[in-house]
Amino acid sequence: MNKHPKMLVVDDDWTNRKIISETIKSFANPDEANDGKVALEMFRYALEAGEKYDIVLLDIMMPDINGIEVVKRIREIETNKNILGLCGVKIIMCTSAGDSCSVMGSFTKGCEAYLVKPISKQALFEEIENLGFSMSTLVV
């Protein structure tokens, strides 16, 4: 892919959201959501506007709707819109939950990558590249 990806950073912790957004700001101008409900609203709106997200960076431990449930609902929205398989948004879980239940639950619901906080710039950029977005023009 040659374009800069449209990204959404979802974390209920302001500091974590800002750290991730600052990490990727040389590569993308991410939107931010402070909880799962807002993230789902933003995701739906972007799809309806024809400006779907390429990547969602998502925390698991959030109030109301946790990250694993957000992944499930995003995949349901995509299925209902006939967005299937590799055409869907790429979801990277960015969380402090490193337990096997959280990891397996995330992948079972449809995430593509899982990073445990604190997340290094290099690890995040490697995952973004692994998902097919070129980072070669950036200095890591």
Determine the 3-state secondary structure of 8 from DSSP: strand
**pLDDT at 138 exceeding the cut of 60:** no
Mean pLDDT over residues 106-122, rounded? 94
Say if CB 55 and CB 92 are below 8 A apart: yes
Residue 31 lies in a domain: yes
Could you give the number of structural domains in the chain?
Answer: 1
Q: What percent of the chain has pLDDT over 70?
A: 94
Give the mean pLDDT of the chain: 91
Please report the pLDDT score of residue 131 as a whole number. 93
Residue 1 lies inside a defined structural domain of this protein: no
47 domain residue, yes or no = yes
What CATH number does residue 36 fall under?
3.40.50.2300
pLDDT at residue 35 tops 70: yes
| Residue 108 confidence (pLDDT) above 50 | yes
pLDDT band at residue 26, thresholds of 50, 70 and 90? confident
Tell me whether residue 124 is in a domain.
yes
SS3 53: coil
pTM above 0.95? no
Q: Is residue 138 part of a domain?
A: no
The residue range of the domain holding 123 is 7-130
What confidence tens digit (pLDDT) does each residue in 42-88 have? 999 999 999 999 999 999 999 999 999 999 999 999 999 999 888 99
Residue 136 inside a domain? The answer is no
In a domain, 140, yes or no: no
